[in-house]
Amino acid sequence: MKVDVIGLNRPKIVILGAGYGGIMTAVRLQKDLKVDEADVVLVNKHNYHYQTTWLHENAAGTLHHDKTRIPIADCISKSKTTFVQDTVVKVVPDEKRVILANGELTYDYLVVGLGFESETFGIKGLKEHAFSISSINAARMIREHIEYQFAVYNNEKERRDERLTLIVGGAGFTGIEFVGELANRVPQLCKEYDIPREKVRIINVEAAPTALPGFDPELVEYAMNLLESKGVEFKIGTMIKECTPEGIVVEKDEKVEEIKASTVVWAAGVRGSDIVDESGFETMRGRVKVRKDMRDPNRDEVFIVGDCALIINEETNRPYPPTAQIAIQQASTVSHNLTSLIRGKQELETFTPDLKGTVASLGEGEAIGVIFGNKKIFGRTASMMKKVIDNRYLMMLGGIPMVLKKGKLKMF
Protein backbone atom coordinates (compact mmCIF):
# COMPACT_ATOMS: atom_id res chain seq x y z
CA MET A 1 0.00 0.00 0.00
CA LYS A 2 1.30 3.43 -0.90
CA VAL A 3 0.62 6.11 1.68
CA ASP A 4 1.34 9.00 -0.67
CA VAL A 5 -0.10 12.47 -0.31
CA ILE A 6 -0.41 14.21 -3.66
CA GLY A 7 -0.61 17.94 -4.25
CA LEU A 8 -1.11 19.83 -7.48
CA ASN A 9 2.51 19.71 -8.73
CA ARG A 10 3.65 21.05 -5.38
CA PRO A 11 6.98 19.96 -3.85
CA LYS A 12 6.54 17.45 -1.04
CA ILE A 13 8.39 17.71 2.26
CA VAL A 14 8.42 14.55 4.39
CA ILE A 15 9.46 14.85 8.04
CA LEU A 16 10.44 11.61 9.79
CA GLY A 17 9.94 11.67 13.55
CA ALA A 18 8.03 13.97 15.89
CA GLY A 19 10.76 14.58 18.44
CA TYR A 20 11.91 18.11 19.24
CA GLY A 21 13.58 18.64 15.85
CA GLY A 22 10.85 17.02 13.76
CA ILE A 23 7.76 18.51 15.40
CA MET A 24 9.27 21.99 15.56
CA THR A 25 10.24 21.80 11.88
CA ALA A 26 6.61 21.01 11.06
CA VAL A 27 5.33 23.84 13.28
CA ARG A 28 7.80 26.33 11.75
CA LEU A 29 6.94 25.32 8.20
CA GLN A 30 3.28 25.99 8.91
CA LYS A 31 4.24 29.58 9.68
CA ASP A 32 6.90 30.05 6.99
CA LEU A 33 5.09 28.50 4.00
CA LYS A 34 1.84 29.46 2.35
CA VAL A 35 -0.75 26.70 2.12
CA ASP A 36 -0.29 26.18 -1.63
CA GLU A 37 3.53 26.27 -1.67
CA ALA A 38 4.24 22.69 -0.57
CA ASP A 39 2.74 19.48 0.79
CA VAL A 40 4.14 18.78 4.26
CA VAL A 41 3.89 15.25 5.66
CA LEU A 42 4.87 14.35 9.23
CA VAL A 43 5.48 10.66 10.00
CA ASN A 44 5.62 9.30 13.53
CA LYS A 45 4.96 5.88 15.06
CA HIS A 46 2.84 7.36 17.85
CA ASN A 47 0.07 9.92 17.59
CA TYR A 48 1.82 12.05 20.20
CA HIS A 49 5.00 14.05 20.71
CA TYR A 50 6.65 13.75 24.12
CA GLN A 51 8.99 15.79 26.25
CA THR A 52 12.14 13.66 26.35
CA THR A 53 13.55 15.95 29.02
CA TRP A 54 10.69 14.95 31.36
CA LEU A 55 11.03 11.17 30.98
CA HIS A 56 13.15 10.81 34.11
CA GLU A 57 10.21 12.13 36.12
CA ASN A 58 7.85 9.63 34.50
CA ALA A 59 10.31 6.81 35.19
CA ALA A 60 10.62 7.74 38.87
CA GLY A 61 6.86 8.14 39.22
CA THR A 62 6.95 11.83 40.22
CA LEU A 63 5.11 12.97 37.05
CA HIS A 64 2.38 11.07 35.22
CA HIS A 65 3.28 10.17 31.64
CA ASP A 66 0.08 11.77 30.31
CA LYS A 67 1.54 15.14 31.33
CA THR A 68 4.61 14.46 29.22
CA ARG A 69 2.97 13.40 25.96
CA ILE A 70 1.29 15.91 23.69
CA PRO A 71 -1.15 14.87 20.93
CA ILE A 72 0.28 15.72 17.51
CA ALA A 73 -3.18 16.97 16.55
CA ASP A 74 -2.71 19.74 19.14
CA CYS A 75 0.53 20.86 17.47
CA ILE A 76 -0.16 20.86 13.73
CA SER A 77 -2.86 22.23 11.46
CA LYS A 78 -4.60 19.59 9.34
CA SER A 79 -4.99 22.11 6.54
CA LYS A 80 -1.24 22.65 6.33
CA THR A 81 0.32 19.36 7.46
CA THR A 82 -0.66 15.75 6.82
CA PHE A 83 0.09 13.39 9.69
CA VAL A 84 0.86 9.74 8.94
CA GLN A 85 1.01 7.44 11.95
CA ASP A 86 3.36 4.64 10.97
CA THR A 87 6.79 3.21 11.73
CA VAL A 88 9.73 4.13 9.51
CA VAL A 89 11.55 0.98 8.36
CA LYS A 90 14.12 2.41 5.96
CA VAL A 91 14.97 5.38 3.79
CA VAL A 92 16.01 4.80 0.17
CA PRO A 93 17.66 8.17 -0.55
CA ASP A 94 18.76 7.35 -4.11
CA GLU A 95 15.10 6.81 -5.02
CA LYS A 96 13.68 9.50 -2.73
CA ARG A 97 11.50 6.92 -0.98
CA VAL A 98 10.67 6.14 2.63
CA ILE A 99 9.60 2.59 3.43
CA LEU A 100 7.07 2.36 6.26
CA ALA A 101 5.71 -0.66 8.10
CA ASN A 102 2.40 -0.22 6.28
CA GLY A 103 3.38 1.40 2.99
CA GLU A 104 5.76 3.93 1.56
CA LEU A 105 6.15 7.62 0.79
CA THR A 106 8.03 9.56 -1.86
CA TYR A 107 9.49 13.00 -1.30
CA ASP A 108 11.14 15.99 -2.89
CA TYR A 109 12.67 17.09 0.39
CA LEU A 110 13.30 14.95 3.46
CA VAL A 111 13.85 15.90 7.09
CA VAL A 112 15.27 13.07 9.20
CA GLY A 113 14.56 13.44 12.91
CA LEU A 114 14.31 9.84 14.05
CA GLY A 115 15.63 10.41 17.55
CA PHE A 116 18.04 8.44 19.69
CA GLU A 117 18.72 4.95 20.97
CA SER A 118 20.65 3.87 24.03
CA GLU A 119 24.38 3.34 23.57
CA THR A 120 25.62 0.44 25.67
CA PHE A 121 29.30 0.70 24.61
CA GLY A 122 29.43 -3.07 24.31
CA ILE A 123 28.89 -3.71 28.04
CA LYS A 124 27.78 -7.31 28.40
CA GLY A 125 24.19 -7.86 29.46
CA LEU A 126 23.01 -4.23 29.44
CA LYS A 127 20.56 -4.65 26.57
CA GLU A 128 19.14 -7.81 28.10
CA HIS A 129 18.93 -6.90 31.78
CA ALA A 130 18.90 -3.10 32.22
CA PHE A 131 16.13 -0.60 31.68
CA SER A 132 16.65 2.55 29.61
CA ILE A 133 14.83 5.89 29.88
CA SER A 134 14.23 6.05 26.15
CA SER A 135 10.49 6.59 25.59
CA ILE A 136 7.14 7.06 27.30
CA ASN A 137 6.54 3.30 27.40
CA ALA A 138 10.06 2.58 28.66
CA ALA A 139 9.62 5.15 31.45
CA ARG A 140 6.27 3.65 32.38
CA MET A 141 7.83 0.18 32.59
CA ILE A 142 10.54 1.47 34.93
CA ARG A 143 8.00 3.14 37.22
CA GLU A 144 5.80 0.04 37.37
CA HIS A 145 8.81 -2.23 37.94
CA ILE A 146 10.09 -0.14 40.84
CA GLU A 147 6.68 0.04 42.48
CA TYR A 148 6.32 -3.74 42.16
CA GLN A 149 9.61 -4.26 44.04
CA PHE A 150 8.25 -2.24 46.95
CA ALA A 151 4.87 -3.98 46.79
CA VAL A 152 6.31 -7.49 47.16
CA TYR A 153 9.09 -6.67 49.62
CA ASN A 154 7.18 -7.50 52.81
CA ASN A 155 5.87 -10.76 51.37
CA GLU A 156 9.29 -12.25 50.60
CA LYS A 157 11.92 -13.91 52.72
CA GLU A 158 14.71 -14.20 50.14
CA ARG A 159 16.49 -11.51 48.06
CA ARG A 160 14.67 -8.79 49.98
CA ASP A 161 17.60 -6.37 49.96
CA GLU A 162 17.93 -6.71 46.19
CA ARG A 163 14.31 -5.64 45.77
CA LEU A 164 15.11 -2.27 47.32
CA THR A 165 18.45 -1.65 45.62
CA LEU A 166 18.08 0.77 42.71
CA ILE A 167 21.14 1.17 40.47
CA VAL A 168 21.46 4.00 37.95
CA GLY A 169 24.30 3.69 35.46
CA GLY A 170 25.70 7.07 34.46
CA ALA A 171 25.97 10.40 36.30
CA GLY A 172 25.46 12.65 33.32
CA PHE A 173 22.40 14.89 33.12
CA THR A 174 19.87 12.08 32.66
CA GLY A 175 21.36 9.96 35.43
CA ILE A 176 21.61 12.82 37.91
CA GLU A 177 18.11 14.07 37.17
CA PHE A 178 16.72 10.56 37.54
CA VAL A 179 18.36 9.87 40.93
CA GLY A 180 17.13 13.29 42.05
CA GLU A 181 13.55 12.25 41.28
CA LEU A 182 14.09 8.83 42.87
CA ALA A 183 15.34 10.51 46.04
CA ASN A 184 11.99 12.30 46.23
CA ARG A 185 9.89 9.30 45.25
CA VAL A 186 11.42 6.65 47.52
CA PRO A 187 10.17 8.15 50.83
CA GLN A 188 6.65 8.19 49.36
CA LEU A 189 6.92 4.54 48.35
CA CYS A 190 8.33 3.60 51.76
CA LYS A 191 5.37 5.25 53.47
CA GLU A 192 2.88 3.60 51.13
CA TYR A 193 4.30 0.09 51.54
CA ASP A 194 5.38 0.31 55.21
CA ILE A 195 9.11 0.03 54.55
CA PRO A 196 11.82 1.85 56.57
CA ARG A 197 13.64 4.37 54.34
CA GLU A 198 17.04 3.06 55.44
CA LYS A 199 16.28 -0.27 53.77
CA VAL A 200 16.40 1.37 50.32
CA ARG A 201 19.64 1.98 48.40
CA ILE A 202 19.92 4.36 45.43
CA ILE A 203 23.32 3.82 43.82
CA ASN A 204 24.65 6.03 41.02
CA VAL A 205 27.61 4.54 39.12
CA GLU A 206 29.82 6.71 36.89
CA ALA A 207 33.00 5.70 35.04
CA ALA A 208 34.34 9.27 34.78
CA PRO A 209 36.30 10.81 37.69
CA THR A 210 33.38 13.13 38.49
CA ALA A 211 29.62 13.29 38.23
CA LEU A 212 28.29 15.57 35.47
CA PRO A 213 31.57 15.46 33.50
CA GLY A 214 32.45 18.83 31.99
CA PHE A 215 30.04 20.78 34.19
CA ASP A 216 31.04 23.50 36.67
CA PRO A 217 32.80 21.81 39.65
CA GLU A 218 31.11 24.04 42.25
CA LEU A 219 27.67 23.11 40.95
CA VAL A 220 28.61 19.43 40.72
CA GLU A 221 29.66 19.52 44.38
CA TYR A 222 26.36 21.17 45.31
CA ALA A 223 24.40 18.51 43.43
CA MET A 224 26.29 15.60 44.95
CA ASN A 225 26.07 16.95 48.49
CA LEU A 226 22.34 17.52 48.12
CA LEU A 227 21.67 14.08 46.67
CA GLU A 228 23.88 12.34 49.24
CA SER A 229 21.89 14.09 51.99
CA LYS A 230 18.81 12.41 50.50
CA GLY A 231 20.42 8.97 50.61
CA VAL A 232 21.99 8.63 47.16
CA GLU A 233 25.25 6.65 47.07
CA PHE A 234 27.79 7.63 44.41
CA LYS A 235 30.36 5.27 42.95
CA ILE A 236 32.50 7.63 40.88
CA GLY A 237 35.42 6.43 38.72
CA THR A 238 33.72 3.03 38.66
CA MET A 239 33.12 1.09 35.46
CA ILE A 240 30.21 -1.25 34.93
CA LYS A 241 31.77 -4.36 33.44
CA GLU A 242 28.63 -6.49 33.15
CA CYS A 243 24.92 -6.45 33.86
CA THR A 244 23.34 -9.72 34.97
CA PRO A 245 19.85 -10.85 36.05
CA GLU A 246 21.08 -10.41 39.64
CA GLY A 247 22.60 -6.91 39.31
CA ILE A 248 25.90 -5.49 38.03
CA VAL A 249 29.61 -6.21 38.15
CA VAL A 250 31.78 -3.10 38.58
CA GLU A 251 35.48 -2.38 38.65
CA LYS A 252 37.42 0.41 40.35
CA ASP A 253 41.18 0.57 40.82
CA GLU A 254 41.42 -3.01 39.48
CA LYS A 255 39.05 -4.23 42.19
CA VAL A 256 35.96 -6.06 40.97
CA GLU A 257 32.71 -6.00 42.93
CA GLU A 258 29.27 -7.46 42.36
CA ILE A 259 26.28 -5.39 43.45
CA LYS A 260 23.03 -7.33 43.61
CA ALA A 261 19.91 -5.44 42.60
CA SER A 262 16.53 -6.10 41.03
CA THR A 263 16.51 -2.71 39.27
CA VAL A 264 19.25 -1.43 36.96
CA VAL A 265 18.58 1.64 34.83
CA TRP A 266 21.15 2.58 32.18
CA ALA A 267 21.39 6.35 31.60
CA ALA A 268 24.94 6.75 30.38
CA GLY A 269 24.86 7.23 26.64
CA VAL A 270 22.82 7.72 23.49
CA ARG A 271 23.42 7.34 19.77
CA GLY A 272 21.44 8.22 16.69
CA SER A 273 18.89 5.97 15.01
CA ASP A 274 19.85 2.58 13.58
CA ILE A 275 17.55 3.37 10.66
CA VAL A 276 19.93 6.14 9.57
CA ASP A 277 22.82 3.66 9.69
CA GLU A 278 20.90 1.09 7.66
CA SER A 279 19.71 3.56 5.02
CA GLY A 280 23.08 4.22 3.43
CA PHE A 281 23.93 7.57 5.04
CA GLU A 282 27.47 8.30 6.18
CA THR A 283 27.17 8.00 9.93
CA MET A 284 29.04 7.95 13.21
CA ARG A 285 27.04 5.99 15.80
CA GLY A 286 23.81 6.70 13.96
CA ARG A 287 24.52 10.39 13.46
CA VAL A 288 25.26 12.25 10.21
CA LYS A 289 27.92 14.98 10.15
CA VAL A 290 25.78 17.60 8.46
CA ARG A 291 26.78 20.62 6.42
CA LYS A 292 26.49 24.10 7.93
CA ASP A 293 22.98 24.44 6.45
CA MET A 294 21.87 21.17 8.15
CA ARG A 295 21.88 19.13 4.94
CA ASP A 296 23.33 15.68 4.44
CA PRO A 297 26.84 16.01 2.99
CA ASN A 298 25.93 14.02 -0.12
CA ARG A 299 22.29 14.92 -0.76
CA ASP A 300 20.99 18.44 -1.26
CA GLU A 301 17.37 17.45 -0.62
CA VAL A 302 17.94 15.74 2.75
CA PHE A 303 18.12 17.61 6.06
CA ILE A 304 19.05 15.97 9.39
CA VAL A 305 17.93 17.29 12.79
CA GLY A 306 18.13 16.42 16.46
CA ASP A 307 19.86 13.30 17.75
CA CYS A 308 20.64 12.12 14.21
CA ALA A 309 22.64 15.27 13.36
CA LEU A 310 26.33 15.58 14.24
CA ILE A 311 27.68 19.13 14.49
CA ILE A 312 31.25 19.88 15.56
CA ASN A 313 31.96 22.76 17.93
CA GLU A 314 34.91 24.44 16.21
CA GLU A 315 36.16 25.90 19.49
CA THR A 316 36.49 22.56 21.24
CA ASN A 317 36.69 20.31 18.17
CA ARG A 318 34.11 18.09 19.84
CA PRO A 319 30.49 17.42 18.86
CA TYR A 320 27.76 19.54 20.37
CA PRO A 321 25.61 17.41 22.70
CA PRO A 322 22.30 16.40 21.07
CA THR A 323 20.11 18.48 23.39
CA ALA A 324 16.50 19.61 23.03
CA GLN A 325 17.69 23.22 22.97
CA ILE A 326 19.87 22.61 19.92
CA ALA A 327 17.26 20.48 18.14
CA ILE A 328 14.67 23.25 18.48
CA GLN A 329 17.11 25.79 17.03
CA GLN A 330 17.99 23.42 14.19
CA ALA A 331 14.30 23.20 13.28
CA SER A 332 14.19 26.95 12.74
CA THR A 333 17.17 26.82 10.36
CA VAL A 334 15.80 23.81 8.47
CA SER A 335 12.39 25.42 8.01
CA HIS A 336 13.98 28.64 6.79
CA ASN A 337 16.19 26.77 4.32
CA LEU A 338 13.38 24.57 3.01
CA THR A 339 11.27 27.66 2.43
CA SER A 340 14.15 29.29 0.56
CA LEU A 341 14.66 26.25 -1.68
CA ILE A 342 10.96 25.96 -2.48
CA ARG A 343 10.93 29.63 -3.45
CA GLY A 344 13.92 29.18 -5.73
CA LYS A 345 16.51 30.84 -3.52
CA GLN A 346 19.88 29.10 -3.36
CA GLU A 347 21.50 31.02 -0.49
CA LEU A 348 20.80 29.03 2.66
CA GLU A 349 21.14 29.95 6.32
CA THR A 350 24.03 28.60 8.34
CA PHE A 351 23.15 26.93 11.61
CA THR A 352 24.98 28.28 14.64
CA PRO A 353 23.92 27.02 18.08
CA ASP A 354 22.91 29.82 20.43
CA LEU A 355 23.37 28.19 23.80
CA LYS A 356 21.31 30.02 26.41
CA GLY A 357 22.54 27.83 29.22
CA THR A 358 22.01 24.43 30.82
CA VAL A 359 19.90 23.53 33.83
CA ALA A 360 19.68 20.12 35.52
CA SER A 361 16.91 19.30 37.97
CA LEU A 362 17.71 17.56 41.26
CA GLY A 363 14.18 16.73 42.32
CA GLU A 364 11.27 18.95 43.25
CA GLY A 365 12.37 22.50 44.07
CA GLU A 366 16.07 21.85 43.44
CA ALA A 367 18.31 22.27 40.40
CA ILE A 368 21.67 23.57 39.21
CA GLY A 369 22.56 25.44 36.07
CA VAL A 370 24.67 27.86 34.10
CA ILE A 371 22.82 30.57 32.16
CA PHE A 372 23.69 33.65 30.12
CA GLY A 373 27.20 32.40 29.46
CA ASN A 374 28.66 31.90 32.93
CA LYS A 375 26.09 32.82 35.59
CA LYS A 376 25.75 29.94 38.04
CA ILE A 377 22.37 29.25 39.64
CA PHE A 378 21.24 26.58 42.07
CA GLY A 379 18.44 25.60 44.42
CA ARG A 380 14.96 27.03 43.93
CA THR A 381 16.19 29.73 41.55
CA ALA A 382 17.54 27.10 39.19
CA SER A 383 14.42 24.98 39.62
CA MET A 384 12.23 27.95 38.65
CA MET A 385 14.45 28.61 35.60
CA LYS A 386 14.06 24.97 34.52
CA LYS A 387 10.28 25.38 34.56
CA VAL A 388 10.51 28.65 32.65
CA ILE A 389 12.57 26.88 29.96
CA ASP A 390 10.06 24.02 29.77
CA ASN A 391 7.11 26.40 29.53
CA ARG A 392 8.85 28.50 26.87
CA TYR A 393 9.13 25.44 24.65
CA LEU A 394 5.42 24.69 25.10
CA MET A 395 4.68 28.29 24.15
CA MET A 396 6.67 27.86 20.94
CA LEU A 397 4.91 24.59 20.21
CA GLY A 398 1.30 25.54 20.84
CA GLY A 399 1.00 28.97 22.43
CA ILE A 400 -0.70 29.85 25.70
CA PRO A 401 -3.30 27.03 25.46
CA MET A 402 -0.47 24.49 25.35
CA VAL A 403 1.24 26.05 28.37
CA LEU A 404 -1.99 26.01 30.36
CA LYS A 405 -2.67 22.41 29.39
CA LYS A 406 0.78 20.86 29.78
CA GLY A 407 2.99 23.43 31.47
CA LYS A 408 4.60 23.39 34.89
CA LEU A 409 2.86 26.44 36.32
CA LYS A 410 3.76 25.98 39.96
CA MET A 411 7.08 27.81 40.29
CA PHE A 412 7.69 27.36 44.01
Query: Which string of DSSP letters, residue by residue, matches 113-147?
Result: ---EEE--TT-BTHHHH-EE--SHHHHHHHHHHHH
Start-to-end C-alpha separation, the chain? 52
- DSSP tag of 79: T
CB count within 10 Å of CB 291 equals: 17
Catalytic residue among 57, 117, 177, 181: 177
Across the chain, how many H-helices and E-strands are there? 11, 28
**183 secondary structure, DSSP code:** H
Is 301 a catalytic site residue?
A: no
CA separation for the pair 398, 393 (Å, rounded): 9
User: Distance between CA 301 and CA 311 in Å, rounded?
Assistant: 18
Encoded amino acid at 281, one letter: F
> Which CA distances in Å does 235 have to 128, 138, 181, 211, 232?
23, 25, 18, 9, 10
User: Which residues carry out catalysis?
Assistant: 177
